[in-house]
Amino acid sequence: MLSIKPYLRSLKLNPDMAIDYDAYPFSIPAVRELEQIEFHPEVTFLVGENGSGKSTLLEAIAVAWGFNAEGGNQNVNFSTADAHSDLHRYLRTVKSYKRPKTGYFLRAESFFNVASYKVELERQPFVGFDSSYGEKGLHKQSHGESFLALLQNKFRPDGFYMLDEPESALSPNRQLTALAIIHKLAQDRCQFIIATHSPILLAYPHARIYLLDQSGLTETRYEDTEHYTTTRHFLNNPAAMLEQLFAEENEDD
C-alpha cells in the first residue's frame, strides 16, 4: 500500500565517478541526463522508443540490486553472453530499511535461458525439483503460458520485482490477467519496476511513469504517453489512420 515504504526509493548517477559521456551507455540521452529517479512504492514504469535506454537502465538497476543480468532471482548465476553494460557501477541507490523477502528480474528476451538453467539444476543430484514455477515445466508451455506461470507461482508477497517488456509474450487478455496479479501483489507489500510498450499495462492506476527520449528522462502522465495516444487514435478510426499511413508510405516511394 502507499503507506509502505518502497524497497528501492530512488537512484542517481554517482557524482564521485568519472564518466565518459561519449561512450555507451552514457551516449544515450536518457542515461546521460539522468539526475534522480524517485520510485513509486507500488509500480513504476519506464517507457520510450526502442533504443531509448529503458531496458539498459532496468538491467543496470537489476544488477545493482544483485540480480543476474539475464534474469531470474538472486540465486540464479549464469551467463550465456557478456553483453550487459557496466552502468550499474555508476548508480547510487537509496534503499528502504525494509528489505523484501523475495524478488525476481524477468527479461523477456532471455527468459528461455533462465528456464534452461532451471532445467539443468533439476538434473543435478540432491538439488530436487523446484515446483515454485508450477507443476508443468517451463519448456513444456508456450512463451505466454510460461510467463503467467512465473507470475502466478514465483511472485509472492513482500517482493521486489523487475519486468522487462513482459507484454511481448502476452495476448491482450493475458496482459489484463497480469495486471490483476500485479495489483494483488502490490497490495501485499510488493514493489514493481517495469519497462514496457504496452498501453494496457501502463494503465495501472497511480503508477509513476518515466519517459526516456532524446531530451532525457522525465515523469509523464499515462494519457500523455505516445502508447496511449497512438492506440486511442488508431482504435477510434483505424481505416482513416491506415489510409493516412499508406499514403505517406507511397509518397516516400
Residue 89 has pLDDT above 90, yes or no: yes
Please tell me the predicted confidence (pLDDT) of residue 132.
55
Does CATH number 2.60.40.1890 belong to domain 8-220? no
Q: Which pairing describes strands 43-47 and 191-195: parallel, antiparallel, or unpaired?
A: parallel
Distance CA 35, CA 151 (A): 32
In the structure grid, which three cell numbers stand for residue 154, read together? 514465483
Q: Which pairing describes strands 216-220 and 208-213: parallel, antiparallel, or unpaired?
A: antiparallel
Please tell me the predicted confidence (pLDDT) of residue 20.
92
Residue 112 has pLDDT above 50, yes or no: no
Give the residue-averaged pLDDT of 76-87: 64
pLDDT confidence tier of residue 251, bands split at 50, 70 and 90: low
pLDDT confidence tier of residue 127, bands split at 50, 70 and 90: very low
Distance CA 212, CA 200 (A): 19
pTM value is: 0.85
25 prior amide bond cis, ω within 30: yes
Residue with cell 482504435: 235
Q: How many C-beta neighbours within 10 Å does residue 193 have? A: 26
pLDDT tens sequence across 177-213: 999 999 999 999 999 999 999 999 999 999 999 999 9
What is the gyration radius of the CA atoms in the chain, in angstroms? Answer: 19
Distance CA 5, CA 97 (A): 9
Residue 168 has pLDDT above 60, yes or no: yes
Q: In what order do the strands lie in the sheet with 91-95?
A: 36-38, 8-13, 91-95
